[in-house]
């Protein structure tokens, strides 16, 4: 390495440093000179650097270290030296830094911001952690007992308590053990550890918490021949570089068992497995099962319900290489598993929309997981009963994924019988003129199921009480809209604390603004009425029909309004799982992944809530919702049934979901998308231009569309717009969109990078760039 003189300084190494709040220098950050004392600096380390004219000292991360003579275009004399290491957080593995650069590039987000979003703030702040001690009988404990000079009666009770404990209860929290052995203090346990009869290890409080879930699920079931084939096929690709697998299995087919076998193989080979689940909702059940199957492995669970201290601790455990199994929602894809250790990535329910982040960086967790597996050179398995058309296309048309299919439910389980009910017809059968959300067929089935002592799920994927607030006199035409958004207000009810009448208020679901429900029409003074659908209204109707559910507190509503945090959700599912709750009513939160054998009826109040939205994925989403929620029943001895109310019984998304025919739906939908040049045949990016001034938003969007169109050339890229977004204003900002469609991801990436380097595309407050968008409102 040659040394360059820079003024009176000597520069041997340069470092590119990403700083969170800096201009969008794609993709490498700012260049600094490395002081000779830091010659061992490497990518992924946290450093402090001087920034700006005032040289204020800021945190950054090293993206790349290179010899000064490799950077011929860098004006060495002007370079600043970086100040030094920052020890706030452990260094990031080099592969994650590389992943951040890819995300920064593909999803059009400054690299500093990307890197900053990958490390939880609790980790950067180093928030304190809590651990508990777990003990178990040591190998050869009997010999150690005989060799011990003296074993007290208390100590004997401890050993006996461990010896007679179920395998899934070991190792055991010292405090639980002390209680079980009827000890006043943990001293006898400590002495048993020091004499080698017991082993002890420290676990985080999080691990301890999830361990409680694992009881009874530890046995390894026999694989069906179909599961066996999948396991064998994927196993052949373990330890053999990158490969991509789509596991398409009907609901209840036992996909989790396939994952567990592959995880076991990965652990046996001494490597770490990373498991992604769509959201916190699924973490308790899946987490409990994983812990039960691998009671002796260190598991890290990363999700939004953790306290700052827990998050920091889990992160550090992963980073130090102690953890063999990492599970979590979207952001767990950034778990700092040391380079060279990752052996398998699993993405469960890969179709789920919650994998897409809706703020910068707007990445898709599944697609980032694929990239991560590529960097780690390991297989990735994506599973779903309703694969996204992107993944299905990759498996069946492009053949970049291997397709594995589980067509049958696990032995003893049958797919539910799904009845599609024409709600327009149903309504004619009501004897009165009241508005009912549950038709006679669904209401009758709920009654029968409850009478038989079984459990019921009722879904309406719309929050609040009613989504239409208007003047009772239709000639007046007044309708309540948000002052700050181009959207109607939604009526919500707050249950009264003293049993009196519920309070009503209205809320905007876009800016979250709230107001009181007006009594009189501001335009003509007549009464105001609320109509339309909302899950609270379904709850109200169920309460009226089944007063015993209310009296016995055996009905529970689950939606974003009733569940305040992960713990609420966890408790609610616990009560349902134990049979204390007979009927769950809720939004899509109840449609996902839950596996309760007592559910014998699923009711869908209105399957059309998403069907008519101006979004090309409307049909796909409807198909997924109806299939997934009906798949929640029939997980016990009975097949169960699902009743789907709809005004569009002939819509393919509904008809084919009822027939459990994903492949027919996918074929039909793919053909349609192909005809219109939509994803997955082409790739899309959407730029939303936002400004408080409507005219300004339009001008900026027009300029953007013009400049983007000018560089299209013969790339096959199509620029459409500008046009107003379907929701033209949110929180006082007008929204215009420009859509970019490209023949493939590589062309799109190259084009966006060029636009960014030319200063045409400046991601930030005004320009929201969304690559592979999943929501188009
Ligand atoms: Zn609003
Ligand atoms: Zn009016």
The residue-averaged pLDDT of 582-600 equals 86
pLDDT at 282: 56
121 — pLDDT class (breaks 50, 70, 90): confident
711-738, pLDDT tens digit by residue? 999 999 999 989 999 999 999 999 999 9
What letter does residue 365 receive in the DSSP assignment?
Answer: H
Distance 516 CA to ligand 2 centre (A): 17
507 alpha carbon, closest ligand: 1
Distance 514 CA to ligand 2 centre (A): 21
Distance 304 CA to ligand 1 centre (A): 26
- Evaluate if residue 208 carries a pLDDT over 60: no
Please spell the DSSP secondary structure of 48-62, one letter per residue: EEEETTTTEEEEEEE
pLDDT at 214: 46
733 alpha carbon, closest ligand: 1
Percent of the chain with pLDDT over 70: 91
287-318, pLDDT tens digit by residue? 677 778 887 788 888 876 677 888 888 888 89
Take residue 602 and report the two structure tokens written for it: 């699923």
What sign has the CA pseudo-torsion 772, 361, 369, 614? negative
486 alpha carbon, closest ligand: 1
Distance 559 CA to ligand 1 centre (A): 20
User: How far does Cα 270 stand from its chain's mean position?
Assistant: 27
490 alpha carbon, closest ligand: 1
Among residues 168, 135, 165, the alpha carbon closest in space to that of 288 is found at 168
pLDDT at 141: 87
487 alpha carbon, closest ligand: 1
Distance 472 CA to ligand 2 centre (A): 7
Neighbouring CB atoms inside 10 A of 453's CB total 10
pLDDT at 679: 95
User: Average pLDDT, whole number, for the chain?
Assistant: 87
254 — pLDDT class (breaks 50, 70, 90): confident
526 alpha carbon, closest ligand: 2
Please spell the DSSP secondary structure of 712-749, one letter per residue: -TTS--EEEEEEEEEEEEETTEEEEEEEEEESSHHHHH
Cα distance between residue 116 and residue 124, in whole Å: 9
- Evaluate if residue 215 carries a pLDDT over 50: no
Among residues 589, 721, 571, the alpha carbon closest in space to that of 213 is found at 571
The residue-averaged pLDDT of 586-596 equals 81
496 — pLDDT class (breaks 50, 70, 90): low
pLDDT at 315: 87
500 — pLDDT class (breaks 50, 70, 90): low
Neighbouring CB atoms inside 10 A of 56's CB total 9
pLDDT at 280: 60
519 alpha carbon, closest ligand: 2
Among residues 590, 251, 603, the alpha carbon closest in space to that of 454 is found at 603
Max mean pLDDT range (196-200, 310-314, 457-461, 562-566): 457-461
Distance 3 CA to ligand 2 centre (A): 81
pLDDT at 78: 79
Distance 509 CA to ligand 1 centre (A): 7
Distance 726 CA to ligand 1 centre (A): 14
- Evaluate if residue 429 carries a pLDDT over 60: yes
Distance 514 CA to ligand 1 centre (A): 8
Q: What is the pTM assigned to this prediction?
A: 0.85
Cα distance between residue 590 and residue 577, in whole Å: 13
Distance 463 CA to ligand 2 centre (A): 26
Distance 728 CA to ligand 1 centre (A): 11
521 alpha carbon, closest ligand: 2
Distance 490 CA to ligand 2 centre (A): 18
Distance 517 CA to ligand 2 centre (A): 14
351-405, pLDDT tens digit by residue? 999 999 999 999 999 999 999 999 999 999 999 999 999 999 999 999 999 999 9
Distance 507 CA to ligand 1 centre (A): 8
Distance 476 CA to ligand 2 centre (A): 5
Cα distance between residue 227 and residue 240, in whole Å: 21
Q: Which range among 215-224, 289-298, 768-777 shows the weakest confidence by mean pLDDT?
A: 215-224
Neighbouring CB atoms inside 10 A of 271's CB total 19
Residues 256, 287 contacting (CB under 8 angstroms):
no
482 alpha carbon, closest ligand: 1
Distance 527 CA to ligand 2 centre (A): 7
More confident: 128 or 35: 35
């Amino acid at each position: 390495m040659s040394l360059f003189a820079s003024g009176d300084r000597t520069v041997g190494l340069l470092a590119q440093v990403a700083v969170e709040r800096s201009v969008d220098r794609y993709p490498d950050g700012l260049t600094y000179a490395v002081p000779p004392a830091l010659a061992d600096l490497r990518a992924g380390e946290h450093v402090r650097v001087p920034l700006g004219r005032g040289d204020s000292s800021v945190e950054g991360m090293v993206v790349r270290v290179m010899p000064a003579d490799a950077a011929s275009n860098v004006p060495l004399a002007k370079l600043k030296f970086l100040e030094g290491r920052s020890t706030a957080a452990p260094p990031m593995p080099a592969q994650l830094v590389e992943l951040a650069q890819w995300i920064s590039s593909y999803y059009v987000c400054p690299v500093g911001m990307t890197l900053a979003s990958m490390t939880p703030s609790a980790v950067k702040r180093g928030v304190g952690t809590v651990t508990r001690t777990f003990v178990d009988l040591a190998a050869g404990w009997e010999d150690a007992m005989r060799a011990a000079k003296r074993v007290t009666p208390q100590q004997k009770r401890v050993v006996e308590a461990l010896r007679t404990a179920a395998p899934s209860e070991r190792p055991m929290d010292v405090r639980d053990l002390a209680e079980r052995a009827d000890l006043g203090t943990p001293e006898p346990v400590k002495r048993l550890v020091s004499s080698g009869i017991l082993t002890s290890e420290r676990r985080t409080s999080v691990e301890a918490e999830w361990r409680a879930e694992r009881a009874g699920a530890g046995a390894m079931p026999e694989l069906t021949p179909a599961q066996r084939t999948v396991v064998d096929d994927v196993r052949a690709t373990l330890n053999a570089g990158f490969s991509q697998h789509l596991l398409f299995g009907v609901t209840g087919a036992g996909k989790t068992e396939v994952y567990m076998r592959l995880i076991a193989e990965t652990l046996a080979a001494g490597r770490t497995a990373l498991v992604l689940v769509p959201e916190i909702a699924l973490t308790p059940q899946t987490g409990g099962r994983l812990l039960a199957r691998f009671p002796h492995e260190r598991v890290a669970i990363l999700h939004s319900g953790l306290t700052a201290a827990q998050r920091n601790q889990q992160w550090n455990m992963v980073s130090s290489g102690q953890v063999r199994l990492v599970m979590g929602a979207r952001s767990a894809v950034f778990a700092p598993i040391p380079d060279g250790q990752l052996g398998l990535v699993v993405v469960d329910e890969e179709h789920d929309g919650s994998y897409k982040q809706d703020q910068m960086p707007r990445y898709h967790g599944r697609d980032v997981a694929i990239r991560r597996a590529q960097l780690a050179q390991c297989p990735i398995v994506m599973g779903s009963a309703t694969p996204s058309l992107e993944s299905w296309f990759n498996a069946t048309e492009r053949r970049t994924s291997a397709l594995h299919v589980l067509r049958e439910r696990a032995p003893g389980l049958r797919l539910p019988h799904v009845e599609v009910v024409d709600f327009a017809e149903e309504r004619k059968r009501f004897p009165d003129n009241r508005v009912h959300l549950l038709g006679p067929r669904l209401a009758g089935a709920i009654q029968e199921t409850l009478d038989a002592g079984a459990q019921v799920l009722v879904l309406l994927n719309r929050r609040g009480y009613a989504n239409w607030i208007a003047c009772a006199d239709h000639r007046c035409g007044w309708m309540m809209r948000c002052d700050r958004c181009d959207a109607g207000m939604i009526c919500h009810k707050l249950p009264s604390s003293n049993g009196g009448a519920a309070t009503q208020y209205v809320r905007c679901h876009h800016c979250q603004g709230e107001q009181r429900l007006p009594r009189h029409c501001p335009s003509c003074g007549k009464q105001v009425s609320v109509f339309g659908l909302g899950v609270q209204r379904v709850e109200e109707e169920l309460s009226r029909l089944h007063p015993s559910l209310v009296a016995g507190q055996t009905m529970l509503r689950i939606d974003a309004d009733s569940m305040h945090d992960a713990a609420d959700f966890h408790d609610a599912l616990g009560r349902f799982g134990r049979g204390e709750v007979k009927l769950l009513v809720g939004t899509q939160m109840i449609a996902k992944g839950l596996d309760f054998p007592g559910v014998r009826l699923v009711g869908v109040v209105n399957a059309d809530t998403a069907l008519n939205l101006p979004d090309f994925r409307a049909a796909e989403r409807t198909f997924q919702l109806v299939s997934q929620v009906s798949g929640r029943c029939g997980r016990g001895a009975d097949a169960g049934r699902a009743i789907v109310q709809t005004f569009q019984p002939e819509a393919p998304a509904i008809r084919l979901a009822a027939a459990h025919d994903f492949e027919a739906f996918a074929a039909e939908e793919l053909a349609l998308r192909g005809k219109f040049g939509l994803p997955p045949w082409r790739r899309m990016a959407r730029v939303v231009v936002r400004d408080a001034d409507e005219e300004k938003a339009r001008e900026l969007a027009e300029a953007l569309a013009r400049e983007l169109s000018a560089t299209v050339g013969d790339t096959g890229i199509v620029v459409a717009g500008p046009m107003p977004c379907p929701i033209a204003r949110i929180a006082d900002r007008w929204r215009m969109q420009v859509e970019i469609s490209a023949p493939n991801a590589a062309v799109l990436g190259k084009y966006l990078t060029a636009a960014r380097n030319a200063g045409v595309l400046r991601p930030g407050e005004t320009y929201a760039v969304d690559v592979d968008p999943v929501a188009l409102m």
